[in-house]
């Protein structure tokens, strides 16, 4: 970056003396209201003129601050300065972007591209920030798996249910009641606990449903190939209707990742602007910011050379000490205006080894809004102004837009209604699926119960059969004894004393009463079998037997 002096004013040319236009990272640190944004606006114009695609990824003031580039300047200080510098008034065509949200007012508003991120396009850094989980954790593995497995027509409900059904699993035989407030997920106890945590991170998307299916029209509104080749417009991304700080910053991370991923397929060099970088890469990030900062810094470290022509980057911050050191150190051009606090002045002075006159400049500049450049600290520079309007404090973007482009104002109620219907349909589909699932589970439980009952009956039957067999065996033994007793008793070859019940009892190890019973029973059996009494002589009684 070269600095050229035009009369009393200072003009920064981005071209090197040899005519080359190297990519650079520009940082500007100064207290609030010092002119940082005006300076960035002038810088953007230089890149725009050089054929860069201009992408402004955040809007800290929720005012589409950089969108004012579409209006001509009005303030006397601005017009006079342009006149003095011989710089023409020059508005820029601007495209505005905003994540889709149910908070969009239904009244007429400026023309805005409401977009969504495909669930299939999110990667490790984005999932990690959203769920505040380490890059290598199980949670991230689950989310990445679900993201790549769902089909292009599946949205957030299906995505979360995929995690529930295929990955988290449930305790067998135990079913949890689906929670209608938590995307109808079954989120109680046991293995489902992590699912409950995961679901809680997605609650905010009920109000801001911009995580969408891959084939959603909202995703098509973010046609990166078209945007990245379009260096005619400024592309300004805002989040004014997203009332959740984390979600606002999440969109910046996703936008940056998607731009760099898509830069491979496009040919124009890009200028990426992220105002107030200290919010994204604070010096000591905590909670989700830890993962956000990691995502942003890893992108910043590679972005200069990604894609044909590479990329340049510019940012500002009110406080130098609040910005992550490695990010601060990645600047190729760093400017300091008056700083806000003595601690910050002390830190910069120490870090840059500035002498007291330079340090004084950080406290009270020699003339209003002048800056020093880290790389050439000897001089003070009074930077030039953009050819278009700047967002002055008392301005209202919508009012000004109405004044200039009334015919473009429109109501997005039809879009809101359409998306609401899509979500309702998706929810109903899931409810239907759950109903069927529960019915199936019920049937399965019934089936298992019936099977158990059948098995029980079978076992009982088997035991009975066995007992029967044992009894049969006993019967057979008894029958043998009965037969034997009867035969002995009938055997005329024996002495009567040997055929007595007592004698038989001694032989067969039975009581004489039992022997008598057996002989009688056997005789009865024979009688029954032949149906006619066998003509045996009546058994004489033997002494002592009766």
Ligand X SMILES: Nc1ncnc2c1ncn2[C@@H]1O[C@H](COP(=O)(O)OP(=O)(O)OP(=O)(O)O)[C@@H](O)[C@H]1O
Nearer to ligand X, 37 or 128 (CB): 37
User: What is the β-pairing status of strands 9-13 and 53-56?
Assistant: unpaired
Which tokens is 194 given? Answer: 């992590």
Q: Of 12, 30, 339, 372, which lies in the binding site for ligand X, with binding defined by CB under 6 A?
A: 30
| Residue 33 interacting partner from Mg ion, ligand X, none (CB closer than 5 to 8 Å by kind) | ligand X
Question: Is residue 314 packed enough to be buried (19+ CB in 10 Å), middle (13-18) or exposed (0-12)?
Answer: buried
Judged by CB under 6 A, the chain residues 275 through 334 that form the site for ligand X are 318
User: What sign does the CA torsion over 42, 43, 44, 46 have?
Assistant: positive
d(CA 34, CA 40): 12
Contacts of 56 (CB under 8 A, 6+ apart): 44, 66, 234, 235, 236, 237, 273, 275
DSSP 160: H
Q: Of 38, 55, 185, 211, which lies in the binding site for ligand X, with binding defined by CB under 6 A?
A: 38
| Residue 35 interacting partner from Mg ion, ligand X, none (CB closer than 5 to 8 Å by kind) | ligand X
Is 359 strand, coil or helix? helix
Nearer to ligand X, 163 or 280 (CB): 280
DSSP 224: H
Q: With CB under 5 A as the rule, give the number of residues binding Mg ion.
A: 2
Nearer to ligand X, 221 or 380 (CB): 380
Which among 35, 40, 34 has a CA at the least distance from the CA of 66? Answer: 40
Within 10 angstroms of residue 185's Cβ, the number of other Cβ atoms is 26
Judged by CB under 6 A, the chain residues 46 through 85 that form the site for ligand X are 77
Shortest distance in whole angstroms from residue 327 CB to ligand X: 18
Q: Does 315 bind Mg ion (CB under 5 A)?
A: no
Nearer to ligand X, 117 or 313 (CB): 313
Is 4 strand, coil or helix? strand
| Residue 390 interacting partner from Mg ion, ligand X, none (CB closer than 5 to 8 Å by kind) | ligand X
In this structure, what is the dihedral angle of CA atoms 24, 30, 32, 34, given to the nearest 10 degrees?
A: -90
Contacts of 473 (CB under 8 A, 6+ apart): none
Strand partners, 99: 115
Q: Does 34 bind ligand X (CB under 6 A)?
A: yes
Q: Does 87 bind ligand X (CB under 6 A)?
A: no
| Residue 510 interacting partner from Mg ion, ligand X, none (CB closer than 5 to 8 Å by kind) | none
d(CA 400, CA 404): 6
Among the residue ranges 33-41, 263-271, 280-288, 442-450, the one whose residues contact ligand X (CB under 6 A): 33-41
Q: Does 258 bind ligand X (CB under 6 A)?
A: no
Q: Does 37 bind Mg ion (CB under 5 A)?
A: yes
Judged by CB under 5 A, the chain residues 17 through 36 that form the site for Mg ion are 36
Contacts of 70 (CB under 8 A, 6+ apart): 91, 92, 93, 94, 234, 388, 389, 401, 404, 405
Nearer to Mg ion, 36 or 489 (CB): 36
Among the residue ranges 27-35, 250-258, 339-347, 465-473, the one whose residues contact ligand X (CB under 6 A): 27-35
Q: Does 392 bind ligand X (CB under 6 A)?
A: yes
Nearer to Mg ion, 393 or 537 (CB): 393
Q: Does 388 bind ligand X (CB under 6 A)?
A: no
Q: With CB under 6 A as the rule, give the number of residues binding ligand X.
A: 13
Q: Does 387 bind ligand X (CB under 6 A)?
A: no
Shortest distance in whole angstroms from residue 37 CB to Mg ion: 3
Nearer to ligand X, 168 or 348 (CB): 348
- Per CB under 5 A, residues contacting Mg ion are 36-37
Which residues of this protein are in contact with ligand X, per CB under 6 A?
A: 30, 32-38, 77, 318, 369, 390, 392
């Amino acid at each position: 970056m070269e600095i050229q002096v035009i009369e009393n004013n200072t003009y920064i040319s981005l071209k090197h003396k040899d005519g080359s236009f190297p990519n650079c990272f520009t940082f500007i640190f100064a207290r609030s209201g010092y002119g940082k944004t005006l300076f960035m606006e002038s810088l953007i114009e230089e890149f725009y003129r050089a054929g860069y695609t201009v992408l402004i990824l955040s809007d800290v003031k929720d005012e589409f601050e950089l969108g004012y580039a579409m209006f001509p300047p009005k303030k006397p200080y601005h017009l006079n300065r342009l006149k003095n510098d011989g710089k023409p008034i020059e508005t820029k065509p601007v495209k505005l972007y905003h994540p889709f949200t149910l908070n969009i007012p239904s009244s007429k508003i400026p023309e805005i591209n409401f977009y969504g991120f495909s669930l299939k396009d999110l990667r490790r850094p984005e999932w990690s920030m959203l769920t505040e989980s380490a890059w290598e954790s199980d949670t991230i593995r689950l989310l990445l798996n679900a993201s790549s497995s769902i089909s292009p027509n599946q949205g957030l409900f299906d995505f979360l249910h995929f995690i529930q059904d295929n990955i988290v699993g449930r305790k067998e035989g135990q079913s949890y009641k689906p929670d209608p407030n938590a995307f109808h997920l079954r989120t109680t106890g046991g293995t489902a606990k992590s699912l409950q945590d995961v679901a809680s991170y997605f609650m905010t998307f009920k109000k801001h449903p911009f995580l969408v299916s891959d084939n959603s029209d909202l995703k098509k509104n973010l046609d990166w190939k078209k945007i990245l080749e379009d260096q005619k417009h400024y592309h300004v991304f805002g989040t004014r209707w997203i009332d959740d700080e984390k979600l606002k910053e999440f969109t910046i991370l996703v936008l940056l990742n998607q731009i760099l991923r898509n830069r491979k397929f496009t040919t124009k060099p890009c200028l990426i602007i992220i105002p107030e970088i200290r919010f994204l890469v604070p010096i000591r990030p905590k909670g989700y910011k830890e993962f956000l900062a990691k995502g942003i810094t890893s992108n910043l470290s590679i972005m200069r050379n990604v894609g044909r022509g590479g990329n340049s980057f510019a940012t500002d911050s009110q406080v130098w000490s609040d910005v992550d050191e490695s990010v601060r150190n990645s600047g190729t051009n760093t400017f300091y205006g008056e700083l806000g606090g003595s601690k910050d002045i002390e830190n910069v002075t120490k870090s840059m080894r500035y002498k007291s006159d330079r340090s004084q400049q950080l406290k009270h500049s020699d003339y209003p809004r002048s800056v020093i450049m880290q790389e050439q600290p000897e001089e003070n520079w009074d930077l030039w102004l953009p050819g278009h309007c700047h967002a002055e404090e008392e301005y209202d973007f919508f009012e000004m837009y109405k004044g200039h482009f009334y015919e473009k104002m429109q109501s997005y109620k039809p879009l809101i209604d359409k998306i609401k219907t899509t979500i309702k349909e998706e929810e109903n589909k899931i409810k239907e699926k759950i109903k069927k699932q529960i019915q199936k589970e019920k049937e399965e439980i019934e089936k298992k119960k019936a099977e158990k009952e059948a098995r029980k009956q079978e076992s009982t039957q088997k035991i009975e059969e066995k007992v029967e067999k044992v009894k049969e065996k006993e019967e057979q033994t008894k029958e043998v004894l009965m037969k034997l007793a009867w035969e002995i008793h009938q055997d005329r070859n024996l002495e009567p004393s040997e055929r007595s019940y007592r004698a038989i009892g001694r032989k067969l190890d039975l009581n004489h009463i039992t022997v008598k019973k057996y002989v009688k029973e056997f005789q009865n059996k024979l009688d029954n079998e032949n149906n006619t009494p066998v003509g045996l002589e009546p058994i004489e009684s033997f002494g002592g037997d009766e």
